[in-house]
Amino acid sequence: MSDPVILFAARPDRWPVYEAPLRRALSAAGVSDAGLTLEAAPETVDYIVYAPNSEVQDFAPYTRLKAVLNLWAGVEQIVGNETLKVPLARMVDVGMTDGMVQWCVGHALRHHLGMDVHILGQDGEWRNDAPPPPLPQDRSVVVFGLGELGSAVAETLVKLGFDVAGWARSEKQIEGVTCFAGEAGLPDALARAEIAILLLPDTPATTNLLDAEALARMPKGAFIVNPGRGPLIDDDALLAALDASQIGHATLDVFRVEPLPKEHPFWAHPGVTVTPHVASETRPDTASQVIAENIRRGEAGEPFLHVVDRDAGY
């Protein structure tokens, strides 16, 4: 059997970052790295290690292709590509998961403890008259999206003692987490979301999930943390809810247009924290191990891991 041809299709600046980790991971998985390349005749390629912003957009010429292995957790930019007929595997990377847990829990604690009063209030005023925050068990946090990332965030918050609930489009069960599902469960999830963490994919079913009606259902003064996808929130509705003090603060890492335009009102709004899509990134070492394992599986005739459901969109 010949060595598999593995095309690395991402921005050129990614190759120096990923080449060595990929070769190490392939070797550890017992797969030859001789076919790992930046260029190959399409009809010879067995696997594509892929970023959706690469130049490869037409998969029809890749007649020997066995799978496309996404470097990103998000697949919304590729899942609808009609030329892609082979399995598409999304990235589920333990390093990225750990980073996302830390970012989400860090901002949840920031809002829970009211840390902005002291972090941002360095003006000579001795502000020690605010009441203490509630204990974690008296603060309700709801994680919207209970996939790999959302489940890990919810489980960590449970360990910290918070009253944790979660919402997903389909039924989930997580120990210590009150789980809601589907349209029927959304109002109850919103009603208890003193801190809402959004970790849903961008699909037609999740666009504007937090619209004016949804925001009005949340507890007054609720906090929103969104490292998921920008279109999950109706921007105008959020600004109105902030101005009305229905929402206390929104920490946003993702946006409909990125980079966020300088003239966007989020930048200047005192109730918004903008971070530049940095919540968590794919880690080359751990991501390469996931990719190498899927290539090993493909060569052994075993099922691929983390295959995208094209109908669901994730």
Domains by residue range for the chain, with CATH: 6-93+282-300 (3.40.50.720), 96-274 (3.40.50.720)
The dihedrals phi and psi of 26, each to the nearest 5 degrees, come to: -60, -45
- Residues 54-64 as b/e (b if ≥16 CB within 10 A, e otherwise) read bebeebeebee
pLDDT tens digits, one per residue of 43-95 = 999 999 999 999 999 999 999 999 999 999 889 999 999 999 999 999 999 99
Catalogue the active-site residues: 229, 277
d(CA 123, CA 310): 53
Q: For a pLDDT cut of 90, what percent of the chain falls above it?
A: 92
Helices and strands (H and E) in the chain: how many: 8, 12
Residue 119 has a pLDDT of: 85
Residue 297 has a pLDDT of: 98
Q: At CA 164, angle to CA 194 and CA 233, rounded to 5?
A: 50
Alpha-carbon distances, residue 263 vs 167, 241, 259, 260 (angstroms)? 33, 20, 11, 8
3-class state of residue 80 by DSSP: coil
Report yes or no on whether pTM surpasses 0.85: yes
Tell me the mean pLDDT in the region 179-202.
98
Residue 1 has a pLDDT of: 64
Place of tokens 């052994």: 300
Tell me the mean pLDDT in the region 171-192.
98
Closest CA relative to residue 308, chosen from 75, 149, 150 = 75
Alpha-carbon distances, residue 235 vs 90, 122, 193, 210 (angstroms)? 28, 30, 19, 9
